[in-house]
Structure 1
Amino acid sequence: MTSFEHEHRTSSTERRDPATRDLHARSVAGILDAFGTADLRAVEAVAEARPALTALIEAAEPGFVRGGRLVYLGAGTSGRLGVLDASEAPPTFDVDEGRVVGLIAGGDAALRRSSEASEDDPNGAQAELDGLALTDDDTVVGIAASGRTPYVLGALAHAKSRAPGAVTGLVCCTEIAAPPPGCDHLVELLTGPEVLTGSTRLKAGTATKLVLNAISTALMVRAGRVHENLMVDVRATNAKLRARAIGIVRELTDLDATAAGDLLERAGGSCKVAVAMHHLGLERDAAVAALARVAGRLGDVL
């Protein structure tokens, strides 16, 4: 351990990478070479963590399918990544705004302006967690590159005390001795030292984003909000998404663009309803009812 590492007593994410000690003297091409190597390591770290990640998602699935929520919480970059993933769930999967929740130390203001001191408060998330009235169907995922952020660890323990049956997990980017109190599932992404020492918005952030992509998308697939590999619950809130919705209807019905657009209109903008109407010869209300009987799973109704 170097004197720098000894002083900080920190995880592998804070160690210096011997391969980039000359970073200040590199050309642009040389800097990008370093990032290319680091990005590959991020992908490898996620692959190595797949068994733990699978266990977390499989544990979360039953509660989520019953209507439970996915709650992310973190500080700094980790918190921003959680909020980002949560904010993209409603337009992509047409879920209610509160179905996937992102909490960040320091509140929403910390999304734009750093609030680093907030991460040291182990009680910082308690009020927001209490406001959610957690249930045993919920899943709470803490995100902390170092694996030891007080805001995150305190939140996991508090969540478990409020809803003992809820699934809890910690996504970190270093090896830790054991899951912290209140944590059911530990997902360790061993990304190692950063190109720029301690800047976990880099390789650790990349690996974390990959994992959050997988958690939310896998749960939505298992909840029936995807058919084949199409986002059949997409919310057509702008021209781009309406075009995507028409494309999905065309893909699943073989209609031309005009006919698919008309069908989508009659279906109230729902791709699922439109496809069910077409294949089953139903009007909108009957198609909606048919989908409701199979919990919205288009494959089952077809």
Structure 2
Amino acid sequence: MTKINPDTEKESLYANLEKMSTQEILMGINAEDKKISSVIKKQIPNIEKLVDAIVIKMQLGGRLFYIGAGTSGRIGILDASECPPTFGVPHDLVIGIIAGGDYAIRKAVENAEDDFKQGWLDLQKHNITSSDFVIGIAASGNTPYVIGGLKMARENSISTGSISCNSNSLISKEADFAIEIVVGPEFLTGSTRMKAGTSQKLVLNMISTSVMIKLGKVYGNKMIDMQLSNKKLVQRGVEMIVEELNIDEKLASELLIKHKSVRAVLLAENKI
């Protein structure tokens, strides 16, 4: 497999970091982070197409998979794991998979990202079908684990997307919908947990939030299907009901206890 020379591996624009003051280091990192938003903005037309394609699949009962290695895999798992509590969806609707398995979430697994065949094998563990959608995430765009997973997914008529931080990356070639967030060299040369990782997280925020809104998991600007798993979220639910029904907190709390979710309360009161 021929690899391209990725922008994410290029020399930092900053030299002699060890000689910088703390303020100089922080200002440099911040200056690089400021570049991310404008780069993502240019990709919104491509992100829009990706979101709309995912929504179609999920409306028909499909699932969304993220596959990645290292930082990219962890970011995918983070986004997937936050969908159930935020939007009240099943834990197997959005699934994050990382090279090396769950152990790799906390500790690096040697050579896991270099296994071209394992990405597809890991997807098969979830009985993936053509009803589902797979997004490969790789800062360099060259990760064999992700490339192999996407390639086999396409060969099995499964729709694919990709998020990379380099132009014309190898995973883009295996994606029906390729997103390339070219943020340039990192402040610390090659440390893609920085700008590249931040850009991936921002794009995944956009994708999952947009998809869930389009699937009807939001009312107004409220997370009416969120899981009421702690006191803070219960209070947030009460406040939503107070605002939507124009009632006092005591009655709102009683309704929430009775119906178990904000959506159920609003439905019972013919608000939605």
Same fold, judged at TM 0.5 (above):
yes
Q: 1:136 corresponds to which residue?
A: 130
Out of 7, 12, 18, which is 1:17 matched to?
12
4+ long deviations beyond 3 Å: 177-182
Higher RCO, 1 or 2 (CA under 8 Å, sep at least 6)? 2
Q: Is the 8 A contact 2:139 2:163 kept in 1?
A: yes
Q: 2:145 corresponds to which residue?
A: 151
Structure 1 unaligned spans of 5+: 1-7, 281-301
When the two structures are aligned, how many residues end up with a matched partner? 270
Q: Quick one: distance in 1 between partners of 2:19 and 2:97?
A: 39
Q: Is the 8 A contact 2:64 2:132 kept in 1?
A: yes
| Larger CA Rg, structure 1 vs 2 | 1
> Residue by residue, what CA displacement relative to the aligned partner does 1:252-296 show, whole Å, maximum 9, x if unpaired?
1111111111011121x111110121236xxxxxxxxxxxxxxxx
Q: Quick one: distance in 1 between partners of 2:132 and 2:96?
A: 13
> Which letter maps to 1:115?
V
Structure 2 unaligned spans of 5+: none
- Measured after TM superposition, the shift of residue 9 of structure 1 is 6.2
> Which letter maps to 2:265?
A
Q: CA RMSD in A?
A: 1.6
Q: Is the 8 A contact 1:159 1:182 kept in 2?
A: no
Q: How does 1:170-189 map to 2 (within 5 A)?
A: 170-176=162-168, 180=172, 182-189=174-181
Q: What's the % identity of the aligned pairs?
A: 39
| 1:57 matched to 2:48 | no
Q: Is the 8 A contact 1:76 1:116 kept in 2?
A: no
- Measured after TM superposition, the shift of residue 127 of structure 1 is 2.5
| 1:41 matched to 2:35 | yes
Out of 160, 179, 203, which is 2:195 matched to?
203
> Residue by residue, what CA displacement relative to the aligned partner does 1:210-233 show, whole Å, maximum 9, x if unpaired?
001111111000000001110010
Give the TM-score, by structure 1 length. Answer: 0.86
Give the TM-score, by structure 2 length. Answer: 0.95
Q: 1:201 to 1:177 in 2, by over 3 A?
A: closer
- Measured after TM superposition, the shift of residue 179 of structure 1 is 5.8
Out of 227, 230, 234, which is 1:238 matched to?
230
Secondary structure of residue in 2 paired with 1:255:
coil
- Measured after TM superposition, the shift of residue 104 of structure 1 is 0.1
